[in-house]
């Protein structure tokens, strides 16, 4: 029997265990959708924009650990994916994007909705390929899923010309993959690991620096065991947060630009940085020349290209975080570093993370209210990008039941809402809270409709300070308060009058409460700390009673800053407290 | 201080890649995207038609070169990478030089130069000569420099370096 490429595609999805596809229709995938019509086991989720689809697949993948899948048409459908693909690439999230393509005889002719999406995405994806022969289709799809989920995970794009998909061919789907240029590392080099352990034994002031790799590998439990066994303080990157319970006595805080004073000072004073699954990004190191000046560095990462790239490393170890941590646990005796731990903890008491808020709702209180209201529930938080993201990162309590997903590497505004939708669809038994700024929320605001239509009970918190706060903060601190296009309330008629005594700012647009209502749901506005708990609880109850997403808009002062801050390219000595 | 030695040195890499549309773009684009400057790149199919072999020449410091090799190895399309910077290998480049507007006397001079450099005159016109030179990059540079000094109208096409490892002493 022979079947079309489109039919084979449906079979392939089943074989890969795909139950959900985030898909937007278009001319070049219409026959593919037709083939999927006969497979009710595969749910197609219709976003309102392709960028929504790819962030949903991303959120779905983060929440479920499975590969997220999206399917869009050629041309504009495909180009709308680019930000989401780059985002997944940066944060090592396994997704496979299928794009329709014009038939091969039209490729290169500037046909309607033709774009060389392979050329466009080549350098922001882990792997991209166009299927040029019907008989290669099954193998290419198999490889796409394998590449996406293995090694350092990442996004794969498969471009599907309509003629190839229409052609009849074999029904078989391969069971094995063998790509001669791609052999992800699975083992751990014991020689290197033993050297690292010896270094740990000799260290007086060691710290664990934990990145997103530990979370991706699902090694949170092992990490906690290891930290406790060696009694070594743990600091995390933004992506690594939650790798050990944030209430754990050995957890110090986040390192980097908006990390805690104690965590940054610990890195500055440490004599050994034992890094697992991080890449020493510029937001972590600041000025590389003055980063961790007293420390030797052990670096464990699954990707050899991440090692000794930004900082020189004394012991490089290429390995999966979980495998490496398990090996270290089994090859070490318990250690104590009580005095060092006490010292680091004392720095936290010297300059604890805390906000002193004079007007509006306190960002810290918003997050702490979420901590309390969701303490007993398995909860997924997603954050958008900006000040609220850093506040979420600083104050959210994370543990195996409470996870935070955010756009760590790319910093793509518009991630917060669609990723929450994807996460909720993947994990319907969990509570989902999407934390947004008023700027980023508007970047994918249209996905409110998706959340409503998918009947997703979730709480969407919007920190509304009427500003693009993170950039405004830089303008406050480094540009003498010369605010340039960072006010979202600004109208044309404000020109020359902004900041003048007696001048009242125009009303903010849009009205988020009415937005929620326009989408057929409910919105709440919080203007004082005292309303937080009751309002969020009421919103959650409404959401769950009606299976709808609700908006809780919190009015935050535009003058709140994310602190501490180490300016980009500066070192620990320049920390602003 | 975590700063590395930044002395630049000439490097050579021999790369086995999938012989597929877009692989050259993947490799060259990755290099440009990360600000690695390629001096020379050549590609051709090998004894196995599904595999192409590239010879890439570039100048970089040690740390950057390590990173370049890792990044190349990361590419799914790259099957194998050989660093032949310090290996014993044969490296040659084809060079065409067309000298225009030369007199009879000058043609004689060109032939003498060709003889010394081992170049082949492969075409000839009323007042022009075309030389073919298969030699090392350095030797080709010398020949070009000399001819440009002597003649005003010189047209040059270089093929880029191709390299292959020497047959080992044991095999010999």
A495-518 residue pLDDT tens: 999 989 999 999 999 999 999 999
- Is A316 within a domain? yes
Say if CB A72 and CB A80 are below 8 A apart: yes
- Give A-chain residues touching B29 at CB under 8 angstroms: 122-123
Closest residue to B67, CB basis, from A118, A147, A309: A309
Q: Give the pLDDT band (50/70/90) at residue A418.
A: very high
Number of domains in chain A: 3
Are A153 and A264 in the same domain? no
Are A485 and A507 in the same domain? yes
- Is A174 within a domain? no
Q: Give the pLDDT band (50/70/90) at residue B168.
A: confident
Look at the alpha carbons of A387, A555, A63, A95 in this order and tell me if their dihedral is positive or negative. negative
Instruction: State whether residue B30 sits within 8 Å of chain A by CB.
Output: yes
- Is A183 within a domain? no
Are A131 and A50 in the same domain? yes
Beta-carbon contacts of A498 under 8 Å, excluding residues fewer than 6 positions away, are A483, A487, A490, A505
pLDDT at site A219: 96
Q: Do A303 and B74 touch (CB under 8 A)?
A: yes
- Distance in Å, alpha carbon of B11 to nearest chain A alpha carbon: 19
- Is A58 within a domain? yes
| CA dist A477 → A1, A13, A88, A265 (Å) | 69, 51, 31, 22
- Give A-chain residues touching B67 at CB under 8 angstroms: 305, 308-309
Q: Which of A133, A136, A164, A305 to mutate: most B Cβ within 10 Å?
A: A305
CATH of the domain at A406: 3.40.50.970
Q: Chain B residue closest to A307 (CA)?
A: B67
Say if CB B67 and CB B35 are below 8 A apart: no
Average pLDDT across chain A, whole number:
96
Say if CB A305 and CB B71 are below 8 A apart: yes
- Distance in Å, alpha carbon of B30 to nearest chain A alpha carbon: 7
As a whole number of angstroms, the distance between CA B77 and CA B71 comes to 12
- Is A48 within a domain? yes
Are A76 and A131 in the same domain? yes
Range of the domain at A195: 190-350
DSSP A288: G
Are A86 and A164 in the same domain? yes
Residue A329: Cβ within 10 Å count: 14
Are A548 and A402 in the same domain? yes
- Is A61 within a domain? yes
Q: Is the omega angle on the peptide bond into residue A510 within 30 degrees of 0, that is, cis?
A: yes
Quick check: A440 pLDDT over 70? yes
Quick check: B4 pLDDT over 60? no
Q: Tell me how many residue pairs between chain A and chain B have CB atoms under 8 A apart.
A: 51
As a whole number of angstroms, the distance between CA A45 and CA A21 comes to 6
pLDDT at site B1: 45
Instruction: State whether residue B4 sits within 8 Å of chain A by CB.
Output: yes
Question: How confident is the model over A411-432, as a mean pLDDT?
Answer: 98
Total-model pTM: 0.95
pLDDT at site A347: 96
- Distance in Å, alpha carbon of B1 to nearest chain A alpha carbon: 5
Q: Give the pLDDT band (50/70/90) at residue A308.
A: confident
pLDDT at site A186: 85
Are A153 and A217 in the same domain? no
- ipTM exceeding the 0.90 mark: no
φ, ψ for residue A79 (rounded to 5)? -65, -25
- Say whether A101 sits in a helix, a strand or coil: strand
**Boundary (domain end) residue, out of A136, A169, A202:** A169
Are A391 and A247 in the same domain? no
CATH of the domain at A232: 3.40.50.1220
As a whole number of angstroms, the distance between CA A414 and CA A421 comes to 12
| CA dist B90 → A93, A277, B84, B86, B87 (Å) | 43, 41, 10, 12, 10
Quick check: B133 pLDDT over 70? yes
Are A264 and A151 in the same domain? no
**Boundary (domain end) residue, out of A327, A350, A373:** A350
- Is A177 within a domain? no
Q: Give the pLDDT band (50/70/90) at residue B71.
A: very high
Are A426 and A500 in the same domain? yes
Are A158 and A204 in the same domain? no
Are A301 and A424 in the same domain? no
Domains of chain B (ranges; CATH) run 9-87 (3.30.70.260), 90-165 (3.30.70.1150)
- Give A-chain residues touching B2 at CB under 8 angstroms: 288-289, 291, 311-312
pLDDT at site B172: 67
- Distance in Å, alpha carbon of A151 to nearest chain B alpha carbon: 10
- Is A89 within a domain? yes
- Distance from chain centroid for Cα A106: 37
DSSP A387: H
| CA dist A431 → A220, A400, A403 (Å) | 20, 14, 11
Token code pair at residue A526: 């919080």
Look at the alpha carbons of A492, A497, A498, A504 in this order and tell me if their dihedral is positive or negative. negative
């Amino acid at each position: 029997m022979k079947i079309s490429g489109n039919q084979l595609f449906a079979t392939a999805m089943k074989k890969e265990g795909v139950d959900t596809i985030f898909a937007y229709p278009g001319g070049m995938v219409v026959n593919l959708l037709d083939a999927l019509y006969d497979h009710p086991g595969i749910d197609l989720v219709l976003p309102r924009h392709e960028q929504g689809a790819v962030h949903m697949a991303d959120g779905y993948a983060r929440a479920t650990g499975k590969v997220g899948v999206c399917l869009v048409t050629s041309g504009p459908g495909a180009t709308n994916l680019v930000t989401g693909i780059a985002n997944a690439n940066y944060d090592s999230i396994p997704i496979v994007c299928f794009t329709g393509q014009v038939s091969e005889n039209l490729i290169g002719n500037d046909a309607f909705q033709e774009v060389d999406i392979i050329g466009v995405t080549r350098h922001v994806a882990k792997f991209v390929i166009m299927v040029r022969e019907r008989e290669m289709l099954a193998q290419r799809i198999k490889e796409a899923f394998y590449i996406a989920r293995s090694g350092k995970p990442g996004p794969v794009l498969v471009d599907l010309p309509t003629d190839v998909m229409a052609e009849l061919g074999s029904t078989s789907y391969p069971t094995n993959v063998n790509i001669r240029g791609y052999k992800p590392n699975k083992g751990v080099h014991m020689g290197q690991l033993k050297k690292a352990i010896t270094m740990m034994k000799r260290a007086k002031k060691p710290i664990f620096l934990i990145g997103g790799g530990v979370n991706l590998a699902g090694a949170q439990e092992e990490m906690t065991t290891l930290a406790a066994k060696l009694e070594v303080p743990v600091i995390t990157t933004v992506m690594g947060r939650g790798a050990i319970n944030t209430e754990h006595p050995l957890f110090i805080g986040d390192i980097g630009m908006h990390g805690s004073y104690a965590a940054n000072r610990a890195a500055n004073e440490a004599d050994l940085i034992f890094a697992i699954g991080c890449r020493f990004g510029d937001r972590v190191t600041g000025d590389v020349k003055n980063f961790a000046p007293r420390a030797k560095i052990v670096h464990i990462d699954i990707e050899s290209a991440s090692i000794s790239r930004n900082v020189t490393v004394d012991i490089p170890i290429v390995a999966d975080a979980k495998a490496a941590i398990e090996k270290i646990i089994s090859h070490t005796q318990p250690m104590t570093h009580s005095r060092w731990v006490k010292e680091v903890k004392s720095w936290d008491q010297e300059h604890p993370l805390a906000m002193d808020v004079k007007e509006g709702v306190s960002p810290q209180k918003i997050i702490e209210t979420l901590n309390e209201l969701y303490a007993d529930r398995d909860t997924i938080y997603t954050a958008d990008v900006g000040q609220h993201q850093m506040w979420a990162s600083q104050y959210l309590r994370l543990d195996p039941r409470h996870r935070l997903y955010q756009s760590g590497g790319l910093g793509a505004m518009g991630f917060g809402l669609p990723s929450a939708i994807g996460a909720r669809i993947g994990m319907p038994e969990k509570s989902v809270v999407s934390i947004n700024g008023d700027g980023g929320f508007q970047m994918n605001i249209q996905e409110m409709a998706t959340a409503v239509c998918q009947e997703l009970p979730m709480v969407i918190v919007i920190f509304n300070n009427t500003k693009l706060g993170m950039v405004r903060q830089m303008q406050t601190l480094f540009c003498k308060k010369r605010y340039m296009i960072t006010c979202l309330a600004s109208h044309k008629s404000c020109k020359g009058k902004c900041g003048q005594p007696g001048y009242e700012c125009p009303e903010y647009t849009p009205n988020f409460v009415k937005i929620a209502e326009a989408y057929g749901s409910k919105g709440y506005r919080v203007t004082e700390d005292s309303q937080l708990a009751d309002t969020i609880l009421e919103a959650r109850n409404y959401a769950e009673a009606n299976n709808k997403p609700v908006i809780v808009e919190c009015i935050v002062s535009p003058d709140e800053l994310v602190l501490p801050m180490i300016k980009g390219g500066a070192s620990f000595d320049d920390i602003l407290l | 201080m975590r700063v590395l030695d930044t002395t630049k040195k000439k490097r050579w890499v021999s790369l086995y890649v999938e012989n597929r549309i877009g692989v050259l773009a993947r490799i060259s684009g990755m290099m440009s995207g990360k600000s690695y400057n390629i001096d020379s790149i050549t590609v051709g199919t090998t004894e196995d038609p599904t595999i192409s072999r590239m010879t890439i020449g570039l100048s970089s410091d040690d740390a950057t070169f390590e990173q370049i090799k890792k990044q190349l190895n990361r590419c799914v399309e790259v099957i194998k990478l050989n660093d032949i910077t310090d290996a014993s290998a044969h490296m040659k480049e084809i060079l065409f030089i067309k000298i225009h507007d030369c007199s009879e006397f000058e043609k004689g001079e060109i032939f003498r130069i060709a003889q010394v450099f081992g170049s082949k005159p492969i075409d000839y016109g009323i007042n022009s000569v075309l030389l073919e030179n298969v030699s090392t990059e350095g030797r080709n540079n010398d020949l070009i420099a000399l001819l440009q000094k002597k003649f005003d109208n010189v047209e040059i096409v270089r093929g880029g370096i191709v390299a292959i490892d020497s047959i080992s002493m044991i095999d010999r």
